[in-house]
Amino acid sequence: MKRAVQVFEDLGYQLVLGKSTQLKENLYAGTPEQRAADIMAMFEDQTIDAIVCARGGYGGNRVLPLLDYQVIKNNPKIFVGYSDVTGYISSIVQQSGLTCFHGPMLSTYGKETIQYNLDTFFAVLSGANNIRIDSTAECPAKILKPGVATGKLWGGNLCLIMERLGTNDQIDMKGTIIFIEEIGEKYYSFDRMMHHLRNSGSLDNIRGLIIGEMVEMSDTKIPFGKNTDDIIMDICGDLDIPIISNFPCGHGDYQATLPIGHKIEIHAEDNNAYLIIPESPVK
């Protein structure tokens, strides 16, 4: 935490740590009520310009029903995170109409400072138009199906997307570009979740698919016989959309900042995969 704070302070920013960063209730950073109150206090505080989550983990679904989305709508500001924060992002975007950001948290900068993460973070939040996000030599994106598409970006951690199926917060994916990433799953489990997502009808009318970095995915004693790219193409290969994989976003070391609920372009052509954000998501 101290290292991450120092990274931002060295860049000239003033960080205000939420009360929940010092709280503990078993596995969690305080009770659901305390964590919800902390988030709401940050949105209501007019001196706060951006909310960067400290870390992910588990337990956001205990907090979401306690948030006041009308107050959040009336106090728009940058909200950034990934992993379990996917749930917060999806709910805030759908219920308040704000754009939120799937991107690095304090836990990312607490380990080490990777320039790619800082550069994309500040570029996307800068207010500039026509922002291009490329992959990196350390985490090169792959084109599974070529093409170009435009649409609002939705998604995040696959488990959290699955968690919302059949609820009032289920994501309406029609006409969107979907982004998914995962960590620590078996290949068969990833296959099962992707089949569930496809069979739910969620992928029927999407315009593009971005697969983030799949971290610590593993096989079983009896091999499943397919890696994550194979699984994606087996389930989604018949869709007439561009598909890229291993894009630097998710739980890996290289984490691009992506605007959820905002229009982007996916480019998968000429052996080059990249994203374009035509209009600033923070205007």
Using one digit for the tens of pLDDT, what is the confidence trace for 161-197?
999 898 888 889 999 999 999 999 999 999 999 999 9
pTM: 0.95
Rounded to 5 degrees, φ, ψ at 265 are -120, 140
Closest CA to 106 of 69, 142, 53, 58: 53
Out of 56-60, 96-100, 136-140, least confident range: 56-60
> 27 - beta bridge partners?
none
Which stretches of 124-230 are assigned E, i.e. beta strand? 131-134, 142-145, 147-157, 177-183, 208-215
List the domains of the chain with CATH numbers. 2-124 (3.40.50.10740), 131-277 (3.50.30.60)
